């Protein structure tokens, strides 16, 4: 995992990196809550448990910032709200796809589309794309990539676990091939939407 690439590697140690009450009876992580932070909906709240969620939001935000033409909207804040309805594995990739579709639906000007693809590496070296939650738990390493639609360039990568340099390249190539399917699906679903009008 050394080398010139920038990967946001999260290594979970046994003791954890979170702060919070860790007495004998209470084994919960640190909480943070904010209410009424959106003005349009009748109610809104933000609940942070642990530190990992902040990092996921930061990853999605950095990907969106790389693709959205922010210079056309100075002094304007673009808020993306992602609600997890169910988590069946590859959550970050799913969030990235949802964020891209939402930005397209809102008419925010973008220089390309982006998609997220998750790769899981098993202990025997086999590669599984878009792993389920069970496969993620048993995998030796999980790598999530965000790729753009113009030249399948890498926008963001986050990895967890142990893997070699060659395995990283292999996963990246597999993810780039898989992103074709995702972008084709985007195109079909957007064409269906515009064919109704």
Per-residue contact string for residues 18-57; x = within reach of other proteins by CB under 8 A: ----------------------------------------
x/- track of binding to other proteins for residues 92-111 (CB under 8 A): ------------xxxx-xxx
C-beta of 114 vs 163, nearer to other proteins: 114
Beta carbon of residue 178, minimum distance to other proteins (angstroms, whole number): 17
Query: Is 13 an interacting residue with respect to other proteins (CB under 8 A)?
Result: no
Quick one: 145 or 186, whose CB is closer to other proteins? 186
Number of residues engaging other proteins in binding (CB under 8 A): 26
Q: Please pick, from the candidates 37, 69, 88, 162, the single residue that binds other proteins as defined by CB under 8 A.
A: 69
Instruction: Please tell me whether residue 166 binds other proteins under the rule CB under 8 A.
Output: no
**121 lines the binding site for other proteins (CB under 8 A):** no
* CB-based contacts of 68, cutoff 8 Å, min separation 6: 78, 103, 108, 109, 110, 111
Going by C-alpha positions, the residue among 88, 118, 82, 134 that lies closest to residue 103 is 82
Among 30-38, 66-74, 120-128, 166-174, which window interacts with other proteins (CB under 8 A)?
A: 66-74
Q: Among residues 24 and 107, whose Cβ is nearest to other proteins?
A: 107
By CB under 8 A, name the binding residues for other proteins. 69, 72-76, 104-107, 109-113, 148-150, 186-187, 190-191, 193-194, 196-197
């Amino acid at each position: 995992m050394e080398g010139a690439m920038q990967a946001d590697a999260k290594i979970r140690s046994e003791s954890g990196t979170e702060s919070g009450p860790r007495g004998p009876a209470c084994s919960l992580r640190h909480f943070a809550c904010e209410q009424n932070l959106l003005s349009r909906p009748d109610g809104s709240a933000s609940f942070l448990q642990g530190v990992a969620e902040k990092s996921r939001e930061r990853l999605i935000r950095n990907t969106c910032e790389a693709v959205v033409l922010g210079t056309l909207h100075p002094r304007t804040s673009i808020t993306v709200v992602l609600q997890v309805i169910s988590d069946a594995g590859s959550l970050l990739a799913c969030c990235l796809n949802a964020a891209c579709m939402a930005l397209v639906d809102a008419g925010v000007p973008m220089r390309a589309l982006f998609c997220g693809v998750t790769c899981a590496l098993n202990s025997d070296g086999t590669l599984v794309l878009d792993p389920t939650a069970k496969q993620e738990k048993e995998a030796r390493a999980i790598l999530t990539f965000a790729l753009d639609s113009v030249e399948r360039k890498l926008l963001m990568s986050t990895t967890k676990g142990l893997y070699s340099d060659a395995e990283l390249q292999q996963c990246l190539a597999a993810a780039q091939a898989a992103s074709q399917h995702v972008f084709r699906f985007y195109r079909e679903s957007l064409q269906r939407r515009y064919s109704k009008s």
